[in-house]
């Protein structure tokens, strides 16, 4: 029974690592190439390769050391690269900006001042 619970816990951890790597890869795809250059965070191709390898290792290679290396790369993307890209591209994926609720068709509404 204890081994079954441990196996279930390990499966849950490996699945979580895979999901995080896939989400990071999708986010890396959605940001524009010039955002990576403006944020001074390698280039888009570098992160796509690193995160793609992390996904592939989690899917096909049952070696804990490689899976942990992929997890480190995923965490670096989420903690360091993504906030810089978000700041450079205006807060949205790929540079889309959302206005405030008081924005009109020609800019922000200032209350008639």
Give CA–CA dist 99/87, Å, rounded: 15
Q: What is the DSSP letter of 62?
A: -
pTM: 0.74
d(CA 14, CA 64): 9
CA 16 to chain centre: 14
Virtual torsion, Cα 68, 64, 55, 40, nearest 10 deg: 20
For position 72, what pLDDT does the model report? 96
- Give per-residue pLDDT as tens, 47-104: 999 999 999 999 998 888 999 999 999 999 999 999 999 998 876 655 445 556 656 6
Over range 19-45, report the average pLDDT: 93
CA distance 25 to 51: 5
């Amino acid at each position: 029974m204890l081994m079954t619970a441990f196996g279930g816990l390990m499966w849950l951890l490996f699945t979580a690592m895979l999901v995080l790597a896939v989400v990071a890869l999708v986010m890396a795809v959605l940001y524009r190439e010039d955002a990576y250059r403006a944020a001074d965070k390698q280039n888009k191709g570098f992160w796509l390769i690193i995160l793609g390898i992390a996904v592939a290792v989690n899917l096909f290679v049952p070696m804990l050391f490689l899976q942990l290396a992929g997890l480190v790369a995923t965490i670096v993307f989420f903690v360091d690269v993504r906030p810089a890209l978000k700041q450079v591209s205006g807060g949205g994926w790929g540079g889309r900006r959302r206005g405030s609720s008081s924005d009109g068709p020609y800019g922000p509404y200032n209350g008639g001042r």
